[in-house]
Amino acid sequence: MLELKVTSRLGTFELEAELDVADREVMVLVGESGSGKSTLLRCLAGLLRPDRGRIVMDGALWFDSERPAWLPAHERRVGVVGQDVALFPHLTAAENVAFGLRAQRTPATERRRRTAAALERLGIAALAARKPHQLSGGQQQRVAIARAIVLEPRLLLLDEPFSALDAASRRAIRAELRKLLDELSCATVYVTHSPAEALSFGECITVLEAGRVSQVGTREDLMRSPRSPYVAEFLGVNLFRGTLTAPEPRGAGGGARIALPQGELAIAECAGSGDTAIVVRPREITLALERPTGTARNVFEGAIEELVPEPPDGELVRVSLATQPPLIAEVTRQAVSALALAPGRRVFASFKAAGVAVVGEQDEPPLGA
Amino acid sequence: MAEVAVRSLRPSLARFGVLAASVLLLGFLALPFIGLLLRVSAGEVLARLARPVVIDALRLSFITSVAATAVVVVLGIPVAWLLATREFPGKRVVEVLVDLPVVLPPTVAGFALLMAFGRAGLGGRALAALGISLPFTTLGVVVAQVFMAVPFMVGPARASFASLDRKLLDAAATLRAREAFTFFHVALPLALPGLLAGVAMSGARALGEFGATITFAGNLPGTTQTMPLAVYVALQSDLDAAVALSVLLLVMAFGLLLGLRSAPAGSFWGRGDARAQGH
């Protein structure tokens, strides 16, 4: 169990973050570059001392500005795998994996056993004698993961571990890591730029913006009510910026309309006015081959551009539509085959006015309050 | 028309200037060595090197410069690590102090050493209490050589520590390695090319040291008369011996530099940036 609350000032940038991660939990940390993700990870790893706050791991004090207490990196049970694998170039794969055990003076027989087991676990036993420059990017990443987990960390920090890999090796190693994390008992913080990774790894997602946590929640929470345009954009929901027009006369549904550059949407009653951002959750959108006759007040016609299976399990499919405005719908695999959806096919997308949410408008108390 | 002529003239003038400067400078550098080598045949050199005074100087130079290099390595590398990885108050002063022997006239250095470690000097009295005397002894030769050779070890070593990938050192820390373990198992092996360059340069400086040695340790054959000193003395009495000693020193220096330069870039100097740092 990791509990963190820190403040750290670096030049003009200030990080102020709070984070709780349970054992066996994968906390996904997302944010634009410069949002403070790396700074936060360096604080957790013990490579950067925050100015104020506390970091408690399994009840042990890693940092406390009040006491004051500070455990440097080499005294923490933390494993780090970064986007730059940082393998030691002069050591073989096996020596890289054994490095931490040697540093801790683990007896040679135990060291060999644990090193072999870690290499085996990552499927790289055959590469043990190779130097890093003789390994592919994916293989190097496996060595880096083996090197971190062989020490049985209590906290595993993964900093965009696959961003340097090509799509094919990324998919392969991602699935394996997912399985590996399920087996480990540590708490994991997983930093990523990729929505697909965030959605497939995260039970819980923390969003960092400009050095502050802007939202914490499950992917469902975030999808339902993104607190900022960044969150909405990151999750790939339909985000639109437009101008709220005068509410329709009562009796016509009591809703309002919002004018977008590429069209107009009907939304449920809204307190605000003027420029605003709204999201349409992909699952709220229904696809049909004929113009729907139901109560849905937003109906758009257009051709299908792309069909993409939705992680983690691929039960759902994301459908990109060339409508005005362009929409992304999320439907089941069964629906795809029942409607024979394919790129180029013209469909009607419909959703209710109540399916449109205004970004930043809080429909529930803030988390942690 | 005129413009075209000027345009074509200018580059050729520039090219001529560069060529002329290069020929002049290279000729100026090479001529003394050619003159030296033309004076004697290889057989003669070997015969003259067998003279007792030459053998003594050779033996003394070998012992003192190896000892001085060892001291410089043991003391210089930790200081280089400190300068490369830490910020501390007074760092500038330390940097200047370490570099000072490069720009200081060697005789001034020798004189300063004499003042410090002479009988009346601060360090001299302390050492005298231990029964150690430095001036005009072989140990004094080593001290003078260490003093002059330090910057040639610390400079390259610091540059190659500083050019190490910071992420590797961080990775070592997150793998539970203390700084000492990281130093011996990551920093030292990866900085090795720069360190070897430092060893070679400081060793060469120690071997060639003249001014500080003669001022601080004197010129006693068999005790403090190293090869460079023997060359100077022989010049006045035994020109042939001077030639032989000079040729030997020249060949050693040339071989050392050539060895440093021609080592394969990948294995010895590491990547291109390490090479740039080393010079």
The C-alpha of B64 sits at a distance from chain A's nearest C-alpha, in angstroms, of 34
Pairing of strands A187-192, A298-310: unpaired
Rounded to whole angstroms, the Cα distance separating B222 from B46 reads: 20
Give the model confidence (pLDDT) of B76-125 as tens digits: 999 999 999 999 999 999 999 999 999 999 999 999 999 999 888 888 88
pTM, rounded to two decimals: 0.76
Q: Least CB-CB distance to B174: which of A73, A88, A90?
A: A73
pLDDT at B279 over 80: no
Give the model confidence (pLDDT) of A225-237 as tens digits: 788 878 887 777 7
**Backbone dihedral region for residue A251 (phi beyond 0: left; psi -120 to 50: alpha; all else: beta):** left
Q: How confident is the model at residue A364 (pLDDT cuts 50, 70, 90)?
A: very low
Q: Which residue of A has its CA nearest to B173?
A: A74
Domains of chain A plus CATH, in order, are 2-224 (3.40.50.300), 237-358 (2.40.50.100)
**Which residue in the block uniquely carries the two structure tokens 């973050």?**
A17
The C-alpha of A42 sits at a distance from chain B's nearest C-alpha, in angstroms, of 10
pLDDT at A251 over 60: no
Q: Counting every residue, how long is chain B?
A: 279
Contact A205, A174 (CB under 8 A): no
The C-alpha of B159 sits at a distance from chain A's nearest C-alpha, in angstroms, of 19
Lowest mean pLDDT among A58-72, A98-112, B32-46: B32-46
Q: How far apart are the first and last CA of chain A?
A: 20
Give the model confidence (pLDDT) of A204-217 as tens digits: 889 888 888 888 88
pLDDT of amino acid A106: 93
pLDDT at A197 over 80: no
Which chain A residues touch B164 with a CB distance below 8 Å?
none
Q: Do B177 and A103 touch (CB under 8 A)?
A: yes
Q: Least CB-CB distance to B190: which of A79, A90, A147?
A: A90
Q: Which residue of B has its CA nearest to A46?
A: B174
pLDDT at B277 over 70: no
Q: Which residues pair with A287 in a beta bridge?
A: A349
Pairing of strands A187-192, A26-30: parallel
pLDDT of amino acid A272: 61
pLDDT at B225 over 80: yes
Q: How confident is the model at residue A220 (pLDDT cuts 50, 70, 90)?
A: confident
Task: Work out how many CB contacts closer than 8 A connect A with B.
Answer: 62
Is residue A151 helix, strand or coil? coil
Q: Can you tell me the mean pLDDT for A261-268?
A: 79
pLDDT at A103 over 80: yes
Lowest mean pLDDT among A128-132, A158-162, A311-315: A311-315
Q: Do A73 and B178 touch (CB under 8 A)?
A: no
The C-alpha of B198 sits at a distance from chain A's nearest C-alpha, in angstroms, of 21
Q: Do B170 and A88 touch (CB under 8 A)?
A: no
pLDDT of amino acid B105: 94
Q: Least CB-CB distance to B176: which of A47, A84, A104?
A: A104
Q: Please count the other Cβ atoms lying within 10 Å of the Cβ belonging to residue A12.
A: 5
Q: What is the ipTM score, two decimals? A: 0.75
